[in-house]
Amino acid sequence: MATFQYIAEDVRGGHISGVYEDITDPEHLREDLEKLGYRLIEARCIDGRKAKENKAGRIRPAEIVAFAYEFSGMFTAGLSVVRCLETMEEQTSNEQMRTILSSVRKSIETGASIAQAFEPYRPIFGDFFMGMLEAGQAGGKLSQTLKTAAEYYEKQLEVRNKIKGAFIYPVVVTLLCAVILGAIVIFVIPVFQKLYQQLHIELPMPTQILILFSELIRHHFYLFPILLGAGYWGWKRVRNHPGVRSRVDRFCLRIPAVGSLIQMILVSRYIRTFAMMSSAGIGVLAALQQARQVCRHATIEAIGQQLEQEIMAGGTISRPLAQQSLFPPVIVQLAHAGEESGTLAEMLTKGADYLDSAIERRTNAILVKLEPLLSVVMGLLVGLILLGVYLPMFDYMSHIK
């Protein structure tokens, strides 16, 4: 896959420019632009380092939230889209964001719609944001849909930060213990190895394994980054394969304790995405499709397709939800109540809020169990290493007696 910088022409003869990611060749870029009503004039492959700069990692999720709120506020105040983009372009301190806003503004000035102008940057702003732009543009409610997008991303960011913050302590403890174990293997074991060689002590199998491992790390340390890099490269090559991704997604849901947390996160994201898109005026079927795309999970993909088929056949949402064990009973009940009262989006939003609270509680419950478990595991590892180091000494002392 490559990243291309392009110049295209619309039906009026105006020119737009932008950056398109993750395509194999200019021909695919030409086809994608033709679907949007543009004719490709020039395409240039961008250097790999520059391609990385265009990925979402350069723009933090918090900046996306701030951008959406500012855009919504200025547009509601009566400023034109171009003027909003100009103002934010001048105010932002992120060079990558400034470049994107400039490109979007120029595209709109040359006749592109706001959704078309943001389309090349879908990997950065996300499917939900693009869906909101299209809905706002079609329904004349751009300020409302931008505000909805900002609230959605803010909620997602809040949940993500809570989970990350909760797992900081276990990660720090694990890294600290890894450093201690590494220091023992690299510096302590060689000292005892020399001592045992001088004493001509026969080494038991655990000690031999420790010495072999220590020598491997000290003399062939360069193999570890090579193996890690090769593994990461191989994983990137196969992770998007449908069969591999499906198996990995289903395996994650079966992990003890953590699997239920992942399940709640997925359900919350799916339900909230559907509810917010539905409240913005997007049709039920289109909102379900967008929610499925936002989640990008094999299980949600399969369930979402079943829900969409049920809706196309004239059914309700609550009935197929009740048939899926992935969705908690409270979500099914709220969906049924929302359909009965005509407030489906509001009831499902409440359900997503409930799940977010449950996610925080489940995270804290996992940490309560994880912290002592980490201490026990690390203590056992240190104990086993020290036992392997001192076993020959115990044997030697018994022979002296």
Tokens of 75: 């547009």
Dmax over CA atoms of the chain, in Å, equals 99
Rounded to the nearest 10 degrees, what angle do helices 81-91 and 95-109 cross at? 160
Which residue ranges in the chain fall short of pLDDT 50?
47-57
| pLDDT for 51 | 41
Token pair of 35 as six digits:
């679907």
How high is the pLDDT of residue 2?
63
The sheet with strand 39-45 has its strands ordered as 15-23, 2-9, 39-45
- Asked if 62 and 11 count as a contact pair (C-beta separation under 8 A), the reply is no
Q: Sign of the CA dihedral 89, 14, 45, 116?
A: positive
pLDDT of res. 128: 87
Q: Amino acid letter at 114?
A: I
Cα angle, residue 269 at apex, residues 266 and 271 outer, rounded to 5° = 105
Structural domains of the chain, with CATH: 1-54 (no CATH), 58-154 (1.20.81.30), 167-401 (no CATH)
Structure tokens at 366: 């996992």
pLDDT at 354: 92
| Per-residue confidence (pLDDT) for residue 1, from 0 to 100 | 55
The confidence score (pLDDT) of residue 347 equals 93
Question: To the nearest whole percent, how much of the chain has pLDDT over 90?
Answer: 9
Which structure tokens are listed for 389? 């180091």
